[in-house]
Every structure is written in C-alpha cells, then in structure tokens.
Structure 1
C-alpha cells in the first residue's frame, strides 16, 4: 500500500473538496456517525491521492476514535488554507502525536493506526503539511495547503 502512496504528484486537477468529502464520507463513515463540513475550497491536487487521504483519516476516526461526529472545516490563513478533520471520539495520547505518522506507530493494543503513514506520504507528495493536535475533547488533523494550490473558494 505504501508503494501506491507515491512520493510525487503525477497528475493534478481541480478537486472540489465539498464533493470529495461527501463522496468519501458516504463510502467510509457508517450512518450512525454524522459527517459535517463547512463550505470547503477547490484545490489543485491528485484526486486519487486526495481521496486516499480522506478515506484513511475517516477510517482511522471510525475505527479508533469511535466518534458520534466527524467534521471537516477550513480556515483562510495568510499564505495557506488550513483544513481541519476532527472527531469527537477518543483522543490520541499526547506522547504519541509525534509518532503518529511513523510506519512503526501502534497503539497499546498493537493495532496499527490505520493508514497514517500513507496519509503523511500523500500530503508530503502534494507539498502540503499535516499535523495532529488534540483540542478540547477532539482529535484533530490539520492539513496546510499553500494558497497557490487553491483554485476556488466557496
């Protein structure tokens, strides 16, 4: 699976994140978990790789977070757009935050945090940044996308 992640973005197209989040959410998030999102941007990206990023983050939240809600929001910063993918489920312990994107990272139960290594590689391949932060009873992934990769703001 890591071989498929790739180190570079070979094909780039305009991707409407509203549609992508709804499509991937419908496939990966059970109906008993609510998916909410703000109006999101369209970005220049590899649609397949971006789909994999959201698929892995949503699956990770469902499997390990056991949330009642997953939300995707965005914020316009000076030189980039910040995407926040968060859930109201179980948090990841602070000491594991730095290890979360390493291929060797596992929870105490020896279950791999699903696909975070792949997510990190795919985000890096786009030239973007990702980090994990625990905020007020939520597990939150933040993806920073340079403004030049934003093609439309809704």
Structure 2
C-alpha cells in the first residue's frame, strides 16, 4: 500500500495471483531463558520496604539452599553451619555458603539471585539440632530438624 506498487505475483502455469508472505521464525535458548527470567522477576513490599526477588521454580533455581551461621564470629555456630552445609551439598549439590553482613542482608541477597531456601544455624541449633529455614517466596521461617531437611528435596520448609 505504501509504495504504491503491487506485491502480487502470478503463479506459473495457473496464472493465479498471490501475495508472498515472508515468515522468519526464530527461537533459541536465550529467548526461553529471558522469558523465564522476565516472568520470575518479582517485586513486593515487606516491612514497609520494597523487595525485588527472582521467584524461580525450585527445580530451575541454580542454587537450592544458602547456609549461614547467625553470627560469623561464634566458632561453634560456624562449625555447625559448615557441617550442615557439607551435608546439604553432598545431597543436593547446589548449595551456597553466605556469612557476609547481617542476616537481613543475607536474606535479601539470596532473594535477588533466586535461592528458594535460606538455612540459618543459631544457638538453638546447638541444643536441639534444628535450623531455621526461610522460604524466599513467603518470607516465612520455620524450625526444621536437620535430618528432615536432608530428607525433603522438593519443599523442606
């Protein structure tokens, strides 16, 4: 229409008029990955502040758990946290150690990279072998036996 020229083409033999259409489908891993990331990027409000996190399904999250001692300057907490870290790493593989900053900053950092569960070793862990597991999506925290945590890969909290 815009050029003022006819785009019709006559077929040989039948002399039928057709307008050719060019279709260039294209698909690659990058497009699928971008679609997943775009869908997973989520923003909500927690405690009056905006929180941005990557709400990847557990099976797509590159890191399943982050293990942290509540305080990194308490050797007994760090030792127990390292033990839990080694156990989770042996069972699930995709586990991260995080002891930088306060616990709130650790949670936010893990939320941003899409880690579904944060496991925190605190003083109660030393007494009863339970840990605090925080769910990325709900921000709920539950006490879980370390043994139970190792037995439930799909949803430990």
Which bracket does the TM-score occupy, shorter chain normalised?
under 0.3
- Tell which has more relative contact order, 1 or 2 (C-alpha 8 A, sep 6+): 1
Higher strand residue share: 1
- TM-score, length-scaled by structure 2: 0.27
